């Protein structure tokens, strides 16, 4: 029988089917961070249960971590406590732990792929919603709650109702300065933040085939922001090349066995989806959000939609604009910007720093902008130095911080002050997300770089050298 990619991976991990209930799924890889794991470990302790497969579990510190002076003790007492708890729990259960300063440390969704933990056909969970990122490799990856983290630590299984299948197809070629982030923000603006609720999405078509692995990760990362349980892309040569030789990836004869399986991981030509959606690459321009959810995005050259043009939720819409201190019908171009944040599990990878540096090369940071450039991991940081990107950034008046989630959610020292506008490459623009009262404009690294140089919302196409576009 023909199957979708999602069905192939899901069905091969079902340990037991419960009548009229969820499936019990085997979980290949479990990623753990300091925020959602302490209570789960405590639960195990109280019940006297060990971690079943410590070697399928990987722990990193990312959310509560400072992005300056990581060699010094963490000042915030709550953060310090969370980090200590994770280190202690990992040591007690024999789980690899990559704490602050460790060469493999970084944001959980950046380090998984980087170290070859993320592979096609795997089931991957983490107590974190953006676990969907790992779907870029053709894995089924989704976020879970703390009680489920405990369940996975104890049994390496999870109970999950099977989501429905959606396919989003985009053919054609992306225009100049249109990045994977713009593709994702475009999809969410069209589907809304609940448009894929109850579904697991497969992205297909030329646009995703032509995308780098980093770009695919950005798109899958944002799947959760349209309500999807996760998103995935069929693995291809690019995927295999990315994984080959990474530390936790299969090697030798295991590589050949893995490849034989991975090559079967695509939706069969006559596979049936519960919902299919088609968009066209030529309709997408560099995007920016104007409101307080990731679905409130427009092409950067457009104006803020009027309340009348919104389908329902006018009161929420108006409240959102009030929070942003924006008015209906205003142009986005030219809006003043106080902060620029380049980083997060959405856009904190090397390709994002390359894109940012393309625009800032040979120019100067605007005086009115505070810029926080935060690599997603130490490996990204090392690549930024090795590729000479740091020199370009420094010459333009920027500096680099140390890896972590940083201003993506302000659970650490990096908080955007109340009332200030931040062009941010992260994934959420909810009220207070980047700090109490902070106002977030989600965008790509190119749009962020253009804002950092001009001090206002600027179309990146104006600043790109034609041959670099
Ligand atoms: C802290 C964590 C539970 C949270 C998540 O699940 O996504 C965070 O990573 C976020 O991005 O809001
Ligand atoms: S970078 Fe942001 S979205 Fe990603 S895991 Fe950290 S807080 Fe969550």
Pick from 238, 132, 220, 131: which is nearest to 183 by CA? 220
Residue range 5-275 in CATH 3.10.450.350? no
Residue 311: is its pLDDT beyond 50?
yes
Q: Is the CB of 130 under 6 A from ligand 1?
A: yes
Q: Is the pLDDT of residue 465 over 80?
A: no
* Range 36-42 average pLDDT: 97
Give distance in angstroms: CA of 35 to centre of ligand 2.
11
The mean pLDDT of 63-68, rounded to a whole number, is: 97
Is residue 309 very low, low, confident or very high in pLDDT (cuts 50, 70, 90)? confident
**Do the annotations mark residue 126 as ligand-binding?**
no
Q: Flag whether pLDDT at 466 surpasses 70.
A: no
Has residue 469 got a pLDDT over 70? Answer: no
Using the mean position of ligand 2's atoms as its centre, give its distance from the Cα of residue 256 in Å.
34
Residue entry with tokens 């390709």: 351
Question: Residue 316 has what pLDDT?
Answer: 87
C-alpha 331 – ligand 2 centre gap (Å)? 29
Question: What is the pLDDT averaged over residues 347-367?
Answer: 98
pLDDT of 468 reads 47
In this prediction, residue 71 has a pLDDT band, given cuts at 50, 70 and 90, of very high
Average pLDDT over residues 356-374: 98
| 41-58 per-position pLDDT tens digit | 999 999 999 999 999 999
Residue 241 CA to ligand 1 center (angstroms) comes to 30
Ligand 2 mean position, distance from CA 430 (Å)? 13
Is residue 65 lining ligand 2, measured as CB closer than 6 Å?
Answer: no
Please list, in sequence order, all residues whose beta carbon lies within 8 angstroms of the beta carbon of residue 393, skipping any fewer than 6 positions away. Answer: 353, 356, 357, 360, 373, 384, 399, 400
Q: Is 258 in the pocket of ligand 1 (CB under 6 A)?
A: no
Q: What is the pLDDT of residues 371-422, one digit of tens each?
A: 999 999 999 999 999 999 999 999 999 999 999 999 999 899 999 999 999 9
**pLDDT band per the 50, 70, 90 thresholds, residue 310:** confident
Q: Are 468 and 377 in contact (CB under 8 A)?
A: no
Q: What stretch of H or E contains 315?
A: helix 314-324
Q: DSSP character for 299?
A: E
307 — pLDDT class (breaks 50, 70, 90): confident
Residues 89-143 have pLDDT tens digits of 999 999 999 999 999 999 999 999 999 999 999 999 999 999 999 999 999 999 9
Query: Is 24 within 8 Å of 16 (Cβ atoms)?
Result: yes
| Region(s) of the chain under CATH 3.30.499.10 | 5-275, 290-468
CB of 130 closer than 6 angstroms to any ligand 2 atom: yes
CA distances, 75 to each of 70, 100, 114 (Å)? 10, 14, 29
CA distance 221 to 129: 9
Sheet holding 157-160, edge to edge: 14-17, 23-26, 157-160
- The Cα–Cα gap between 200 and 206 comes to 20
* Ligand number, closest to the Cα atom of 63: 2
Q: What is the pLDDT of residues 259-280, one digit of tens each?
A: 999 999 999 999 999 999 999 9
**Model pLDDT for residues 205-216, shown as the tens digit of each residue:** 999 999 999 999
Residue 1: pLDDT above 90?
A: no
Query: Annotation-wise, does 157 bind a ligand?
Result: no
Confidence band for 467, pLDDT divided at 50, 70 and 90: low
Helix/strand/coil for 30: strand
Residue 35 in this model has a pLDDT that exceeds 60: yes
Residue closest via CA to ligand 1's atom 1 equals 35
Two tokens, residue 273: 């989806």
Q: How many whole angstroms separate alpha carbon 193 and alpha carbon 250?
A: 37
Architecture of domain 290-468: 2-Layer Sandwich (3.30)
Rounded CA-CA distance 312/389 in Å is 46
Q: Verify whether ligand 1 is closer than 6 Å to residue 129 (CB atom).
A: yes
Q: Which atom of ligand 2 is nearest to the CA of 343?
A: 1
> Could you tell me how far CA 363 lies from the centroid of its own chain?
29
Percent of the chain's residues with pLDDT above 90: 96
What secondary structure does DSSP assign to 263-286, as a single string?
TT-S--TT---SEEEEEEGGG---
CB 229 within 8 A of CB 353: no
Question: Has 408 been labeled as part of a binding site?
Answer: yes
Beta carbons of 211 and 219 less than 8 angstroms apart: yes
Both tokens of 114, joined, read 């980087």
The minimum-distance atom of ligand 1 relative to the CA of 224 is 7
275-280 sheet: strands from edge to edge: 230-232, 199-204, 164-171, 275-280
Q: Specify the ligand 2 atom closest to the Cα of 428.
A: 3
Quick check: CB of 128 below 6 Å from ligand 1?
yes
The answer to whether the CB of 110 is under 6 A from ligand 2 is no
- Encoding tokens for residue 466? 């034609």
Give the mean pLDDT of 356-381. 98
- Nearest residue CA, atom 7 of ligand 1? 129
Which among 448, 275, 261 is positioned nearest to 358, based on CA atoms? 448
């Amino acid at each position: 029988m023909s199957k979708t990619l999602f069905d192939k991976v899901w069905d091969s991990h079902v340990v037991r089917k419960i009548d009229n209930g969820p499936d019990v799924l085997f979980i290949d890889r479990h990623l753990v961070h300091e925020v959602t794991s302490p209570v789960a470990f405590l639960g195990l302790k109280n019940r006297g249960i060990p971690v079943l497969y410590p070697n399928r579990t990987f722990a990193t510190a990312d959310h509560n971590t400072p992005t300056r002076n990581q060699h010094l003790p963490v000042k915030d007492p709550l953060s310090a406590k969370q980090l200590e708890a994770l280190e202690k729990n990992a040591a007690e259960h024999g789980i690899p732990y990559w704490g602050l300063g460790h060469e493999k440390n970084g944001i959980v969704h950046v380090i998984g792929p980087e170290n070859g933990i993320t592979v096609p056909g795997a089931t991957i969970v983490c107590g974190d919603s953006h676990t969907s990122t790992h779907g870029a490799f053709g894995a089924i990856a989704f976020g879970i709650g703390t009680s489920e983290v405990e369940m996975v630590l104890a049994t390496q299984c999870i109970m999950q109702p099977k989501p429905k299948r959606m396919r989003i197809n985009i053919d054609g070629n992306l225009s100049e300065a249109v990045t994977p982030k713009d593709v994702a923000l475009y999809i969410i603006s069209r589907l809304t933040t609940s448009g894929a609720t109850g579904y697991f999405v497969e992205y297909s078509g030329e646009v995703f085939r032509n995308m780098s692995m980093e770009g695919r990760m950005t798109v899958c990362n944002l799947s959760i922001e349209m309500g999807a349980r996760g998103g995935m892309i069929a693995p291809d040569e690019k995927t295999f090349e990315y994984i080959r030789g990474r530390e936790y990836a299969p090697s030798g004869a295991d590589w050949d066995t893995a490849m034989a399986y991975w090559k079967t991981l695509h939706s069969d030509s006559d596979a049936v989806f519960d919902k299919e959606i088609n968009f066209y690459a030529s309709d997408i321009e560099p995007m920016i959000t104007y409101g307080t959810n990731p679905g409130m995005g427009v092409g950067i050259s457009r104006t803020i939609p009027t309340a009348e043009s919104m389908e329902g939720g006018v009161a929420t819409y108006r409240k959102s604009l009030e929070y942003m201190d924006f008015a209906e019908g205003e142009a986005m171009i030219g809006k003043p910007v106080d902060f620029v944040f380049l980083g997060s599990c959405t856009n904190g990878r090397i390709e994002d720093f390359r894109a940012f540096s393309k625009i800032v090369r040979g120019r100067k940071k605007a005086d009115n902008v505070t810029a926080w450039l935060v690599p997603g991991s130490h490996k990204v940081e090392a690549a930024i130095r090795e590729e000479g990107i740091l020199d370009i950034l420094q010459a333009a008046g920027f500096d680099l911080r140390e890896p972590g989630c940083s201003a993506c959610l302000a659970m650490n020292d990096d908080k955007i002050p109340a009332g200030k506008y931040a062009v941010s490459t992260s994934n959420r623009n909810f009220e207070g997300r980047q700090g109490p009262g902070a106002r977030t404009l989600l965008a790509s690294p190119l749009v962020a770089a253009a804002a950092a140089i001009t001090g206002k919302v600027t179309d990146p196409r104006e600043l790109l050298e034609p041959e670099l576009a």
